Structure formats: C-alpha cells, structure tokens
Structure 1
Amino acid sequence: MSEPTAPTLDLELLRSFQAAAQHGSLAAAARERHRTLSAISMQIKRLEDALDTQLLERGSRGVTPTAVGEALLQESRELLRIHDGMLSRFSGRALVGKVRLGLPEDYAREMLGNVLTDFMAYHPDVLLEVVTATSGELARQMSRSQLALSVMLDRPHALPDGEKLWETTPVWAGPKVGEITARAYLPLALHEVDCPYRALAMDALQAMGKPWHAVFTSTSIHAIEKAVEMGLAISVLDRERLTPAMRELGEAEGLPPLKPCVAKLFFARHIEPGSRAAVEALATLLREHLSVRGPWRNV
C-alpha cells in the first residue's frame, strides 16, 4: 500500500506571484518572467486554487496583495532565496568574485530593497560592495575603473555608451502650503556639484534669466526633501519622490520646463575575469527590476 503524497507548492508559481505582487501588475510580471500575460494569470489562479484563498486583488490600476498574499509574499521570498542559494552551492554553479556597484544616491533606498537583497541571497559567495554618490561622482569613479558596474543618470558628466534602463521625471517641488516662488531670488535646495538635477535647475533658470539663490545645500536627498517640506526652498526632484507635504510647481509659478534624464547601466572597461560572471548576474537582475519603470514598483 503506497503512502499518500503530501501536497507541494510549485516554485514557479511562487516566482510569478512574487513578481506580480512586487510590480503591482500582471503585465510587468509577464515581462520579467518572459511569459505571456495569460500564462501569468493562469499561474496565479493555480496558486490560489492550491491554497484555496485569494492572493491578489485585481483593480483598474493593477493588482495588490491581500492580507494572505502579503504573508505569502514574505515567506515565499525567503523560501525562494533558500532554494536558489542551495541549488547554486550544491550544483557547483555558485558564483564567486567581487563586485563594486555604484548607485545614484537619490534612488539607492528603493534599489537596496528590491535588487540587492535578492542578489546577495542568490549568490552568498560574491563579495558585494555598494557605493552611493551623485551621478557625476559615479562617472568619475567609473572612468578610473573604481567600479565594476554602475547605474547613473546621463548628467552632468555623461559617459559614452551605457544601456538605457528608464527615463526619470524631474519636476519642480515646493511645499504644499505657502508661496515662495515670487521672491526676487528663487530659494533653492540643492545637492552639491555633480548632481544631475542641480545641473537641470541651474541650466533651466539661467536660460530664462531667473535669479536664484542656494538657501540649502546638502549631500542628503532626505535633507533636501525636508527643506522643501518645511518651506525653506524649492528643489528639483523625481516626481515619484514627492511627498504629501509637497506639490509640483511649473509654468503657473513662473518656472521653466525641465528636460528628462535617462538612467543607464554602465560596465567598467576592465573587469577581473574571476568576477565577470558575478557582474553579469547582477546586471541581469538590475535589468529585470529597473527597465522601463526604474525602482518605482507601483504602476
């Protein structure tokens, strides 16, 4: 007499669910998983049937995890990390080497949670070093081969080549309450030199002949955001970074339009042979997570 077979979960179904929940979109999950939209939808349905519960709420703006779905998302992420790390180690295909990655400071927080934790879990034997800085400083480090891989914006010091990941949406950001754009000198909160958005602001204001004054200067994006929220100054931020205490400003406030920036992926001219496979693996993960939408996961 044979023993009854214990029920199991298909890891591929979990991967598709995880992609859909993280992106907030079945279409985005289909692109990441290289499957059709109907195939992803069917996989999610199979997983919900297997667990006899609803995991995703479908709406006009995409999908969001239910309470059960949120719990499954956390546990399945850990399960897949353990599985993939075990497979890598015991199959003899574990990656080794050293990867020094550069990230623009304004986007580092979003990338750290969505990309780098997965990479370190999948490839625990790779020595990963992450540097955050302005795109100008990252460009200098790339030109000196101090970084193996970097994500940076195409300003103010553009490097040749580079692989496009996404297009940013810089906007003028001001406090939700109060009017400070009518002053004789426009008060600005800016990064120090080498910041793409500082260059955008200065070029746009100079072109229209509008005088300005840097009231607040900081290397921290969070400090600049706080200065805007408190009404000390306005700044140029990615639209996705606007908080409830801010509002987008524009022509109605006498401000010039801003040009978009392009975030690109760059490789060092020379990469140590023993680290090349690890660099390529991280680049693949960055493409999967950042192409088109960038680090912003909602649709």
Structure 2
Amino acid sequence: MSEVSVAALDLELLRTFQAAAHLGSLAGAAEQRHRSVSAISMQLKRLEDVLETRLLERGPRGVTPTAAGESLLRESRELLRLHDGMLARFTGRGLGGKVRFGLPEDYARELLGDVLPDFMARHPDVLLEAFTATSGELARQLSHSNLALAVLLDRPQRLPGGEALWQTSPVWAGPRLGQLTEHFSLPLALHSIDCPYRDLAVESLDVIGKPWHAVFTSTSIHAVEKAIEAGLAIGVIDRQRLTPSMRELGEAEGLPALRPCEARLYLATQIEQSSRPAVEALAALLRERLFERGPWRAEALR
C-alpha cells in the first residue's frame, strides 16, 4: 500500500509568522529571530505556499494578517504552546522557581489572554502569580520586593530605573448620549487613590478651575466603564477601551487636553536566586510583546 503524502508544517516557519504578525514588521521579526529580512520573507513565502493561502498583507507601514492569517495566528499559538510545554517537561530544560508579577487591571485582560499563557506553556514548572492593583500600589509592593517584577505607569510616582514599554493614550470618555459636561460641577467616575488616570483627571480640571465631584469611585476599571456607559459620569480611560456606548470628549466640550503616561517594566531589587532566570524570562517576553506597542495589538490579533 502506498503512503499518502501529507504536507507538514515547520514549527520554525510558524514562529517566524507569529513574530511578524505580532511586531507588524519583517524587520522587527528579523531582529527577534536573528535572521536577515530576506530570510524572513522567504520563510513566510514558504509557509504561504504550504498552506496555499495569503497570510500577511504587505504595506508601507508593515504587515498585517489577512483573515486566514488571523485564524492561523490563533491556532498556531496554541500549537506552539503545546509543543514548548511538552518539550520542557520531557527534556527537563524548563525553568523553575516562583514569579510574582504585578500589573494594572486595565491591561490584565490583554496580558492574561496573550503573554502570560505563552510564558506558562514555555515554562510549566514555574509558579506564576499575577497581581493587579493601581500603579501606586504596585510601586509600593515592588519597592518592598513583594513582587518580582511589574508593569506600571509612571504616575502618580515614578520609581527609579525601569524600562519604557509603551506610551498610553488617555482620553476623556462620556456616555454616547447625554451632555454631562454642561453641568456646573463635572460628575466623574474615578479610580481610588494612587491611580495615574485619577491624577490626570483631577489635576487637569484643577488647572482650568473646573469644579468636579466624584459620582462613582471604584478600584475596578470595568466598574468605572459601566458607570460611564450608564450615563452617571465621565472619566479618563485609554482610547482603546472606548466602547460603542461611549464617546470621546475633549476641547469642544470644554475639557482640557490630557498628557500621555508611560508604561514601564520594573524588576525588584531583591529576587530569589532560584527564581531569577524565570523572572528574567518573563521580562524578556514582556519586552518582546509590548515594546512600543502595548498589549492592544496582541488583543486585536487574537
């Protein structure tokens, strides 16, 4: 009986495709994969030939996945996770130790859906604990070495050191319907103290002498967003978090411009020696996925 020829997927081609799709650039993928741009282009062409479909659209600003590419991005991510996890378990080459990672709740959904599952698949023997809080609270926890590493915004206080990851885009957000900005005292939905966007909102309104009062205060970004959508108040959120039930407000409504914040990566000054390789591995993955892009692109590509 003759064997049926079946095309096989090269995992290295899938890794190159993942890099190009995440970074949006062949040059970026070449740097990450330690290959030339022409080699990256050839690998992507080979993958498209094997699958007999176009996976990436090339343009002056880089590359973006096609509909087929987006499907492959999701499915190949899971395939690579399974492969890397199995390899680590059977070869004993996986890292160990414990990593306590802090991040603002605003970015938890994106990081939990993309970066952290990939890290856990690559290093199944690492005990990972993720902790969400305001940037001010994360800074305190990090300074006491209660966290091994954290991503936090450079307000209300900026820790020494750290590495810049991306610039945030804070905007005033109000409900789709209603004119809350016409009130003498502006109704606000705010986070509790130590939140960078609370500081931005309050400071910018104080500068122009606009009265305000807190209608709703919560530690949860989702609760703040619900308060905005329900028409209770306006607030400051990342532009990427605007929903169809919200609209962006600004100077036309008499609101002051908001300065961007910077998301930075920090490592604790004291890290257990047995856990340091795992901490550095997670830091490297965060740099790879978030530098100059933030978590939003990864979320959009899933």
What is the TM-score of this pair, normalised by structure 1? 0.91
CA distance in 1, matches of 2:133, 2:50: 46
- 2:155 is aligned to 155
CA contact (8 A) 1:105 1:134 kept: yes
Structure 1 pair 249–110 and aligned structure 2 pair: CA distance change class (3 A): same
Query: For residues 91-146 of structure 1, what are the alpha-carbon distances to aligned partners after superposition, in whole Å with 9 as ceiling and x for unaligned?
Result: 44220000000011111111111100000000000000000011011011111110
CA distance in 2, matches of 1:32, 1:240: 26
> Helix, strand or coil for the counterpart of 1:259?
coil
CA contact (8 A) 1:85 1:123 kept: yes
- 1:165 is aligned to 165
- 2:55 is aligned to 55
> Helix, strand or coil for the counterpart of 2:180?
coil
By how many angstroms is 1:147 displaced?
0.2
By how many angstroms is 1:18 displaced?
2.3
CA contact (8 A) 2:22 2:289 kept: no
> Helix, strand or coil for the counterpart of 2:130?
strand
What is the TM-score of this pair, normalised by structure 2? 0.90
- 1:88 is aligned to 88
Which has the larger displacement, 31-40 or 90-99?
A: 31-40
* Aligned amino acid, residue 271 of structure 1: I
- 2:287 is aligned to 287
CA distance in 1, matches of 2:260, 2:34: 29
CA contact (8 A) 1:216 1:227 kept: yes
By how many angstroms is 1:294 displaced?
0.5
Alignment of 1:116 onto 2:123: no
Structure 1 pair 35–170 and aligned structure 2 pair: CA distance change class (3 A): farther
Equivalence map 1:199-278=2 (5 Å): 199-278=199-278
Equivalence map 1:69-88=2 (5 Å): 69-88=69-88
By how many angstroms is 1:7 displaced?
4.2
Which has the larger displacement, 145-154 or 15-24?
A: 15-24
- Percent same amino acid at aligned positions? 70
CA contact (8 A) 1:85 1:124 kept: yes
Question: Alignment length, in residue pairs?
Answer: 297
Query: For residues 174-222 of structure 1, what are the alpha-carbon distances to aligned partners after superposition, in whole Å with 9 as ceiling and x for unaligned?
Result: 1222211011100100011111000111111111111101011111111
By how many angstroms is 1:35 displaced?
4.5
CA contact (8 A) 1:54 1:66 kept: no
By how many angstroms is 1:278 displaced?
0.3
CA distance in 1, matches of 2:220, 2:275: 31
CA distance in 2, matches of 1:34, 1:237: 37
Structure 1 pair 188–32 and aligned structure 2 pair: CA distance change class (3 A): farther
CA contact (8 A) 2:180 2:186 kept: yes
Equivalence map 1:95-114=2 (5 Å): 95-114=95-114
* Aligned amino acid, residue 140 of structure 1: R
CA distance in 1, matches of 2:289, 2:270: 25
By how many angstroms is 1:228 displaced?
1.2
Q: Which runs of 5+ in 2 are unaligned?
A: none
The alignment's C-alpha RMSD in Å is 2.4
By how many angstroms is 1:245 displaced?
1.8
Structure 1 pair 250–4 and aligned structure 2 pair: CA distance change class (3 A): closer
CA contact (8 A) 1:57 1:66 kept: no
